[in-house]
Homo-oligomer: A and B are copies of this chain.
């Protein structure tokens, strides 16, 4: 491979249930010299996220599905290695959405320069300082309308979004914060590192029972990354006027049968509950507010994070599937 050749991972077929390697293909692209206005970027970190599973399906949604035979798009950070744009000279660190490749060349307007700050790894722009942190912030504020003193339950709390949610909830004045995770090690991390007041291993028993024990006085806010049994359990213990922010439903992403919905939907009426699903598409106006707050929290040392790293763009699919199976703690990243 020369400095002009890119390895890219493309969607080859729409997965049925769990994706397999046959649903993906590797393409090699050799770029000509950048045309006027273009830059060439060598990526350092590429993001794999749960929402990407949804975009592999051909369903109507706010965001269109991934196209077959094209490179999978998504967040990445890298450095300009060739430039025909005065805006982004060689050496500039950039954030972009070109996705699963080691090298990408495109118009400079599709990249955004980001500052290099000593002590702040560039990868954080792909999670706690970026879309993941924003997702947590939007869900707690614009969707769940978190109030000081609220008891908050977070499903899948040891993932990239979940670790951010617990911390941001506390910083915004939440009372008790409860999380679920899929291993005893993650459960320990939630209370020891991420400020959760209580946590349970959802594989250790019935989620309804486990949550009822962890939330003896009910919950006011539910931030859901899992769906299924977690959503049903949350409906059981909501206090009057409770709010659910539905961010993800990883429990159903790779199922081929339609999942049974909660058997207790009538509590929506009797307790006056609100449930709202969201993607970031409608909430990008909150970016400045989020960045201001998160920058201050981070500078004050109030934000912890974990990264689970897989090396090499050739292992992007492995990283994605491992993340869907819960092998990550915190943010799953592909390091180039």
Contacts and interface: CB of A to CB of B under 8 A. Distances in A.
Contact of A263 (B62, B248, B259, B268): B259
Contact of A269 (B240, B264, B273, B277): B277
A184 to B, nearest CB: 29
B271 A62 contact: yes
A279 B268 contact: no
Contact of A272 (B240, B273, B279): B279
Contacts of A258: 263-264
Contacts of A241: 282
A60 interface: yes
B270 A61 contact: yes
A266 interface: yes
A260 B263 contact: yes
Contact of A249 (B54, B62, B269, B271): B269
Given A261-B262, A282-B241, A274 B276 contact: yes
Contact of A265 (B59, B231, B272, B276): B231
B278 A272 contact: yes
Given A274-B276, A275-B276, A282-B241, A247 B261 contact: no
Contacts of A279: 269-270, 272
A308 interface: no
A281 interface: yes
Given A62-B240, A282-B241, A268 B276 contact: yes
A249 B272 contact: no
A310 to B, nearest CB: 26
Given A62-B240, A268-B246, A282-B241, A273 B263 contact: no
A316 to B, nearest CB: 23
A6 interface: no
A281 to B, nearest CB: 7
Contacts of A60: 270-271
Interface string A219-252: 0000000010001100000001100001111001
Contact of A261 (B61, B261, B282): B261
Contacts of A266: 54, 227, 249, 252
A246 B61 CA distance: 23
Contacts of A277: 267-274
Interface string A45-66: 0000000001000011110000
14 contacts: A227-B266, A241-B282, A249-B266, A260-B261, A261-B262, A261-B265, A267-B277, A268-B277, A271-B277, A272-B278, A272-B279, A274-B277, A275-B275, A275-B276
Interface of A: 54, 59-62, 227, 231-232, 240-241, 246-249, 252, 258-279, 281-282
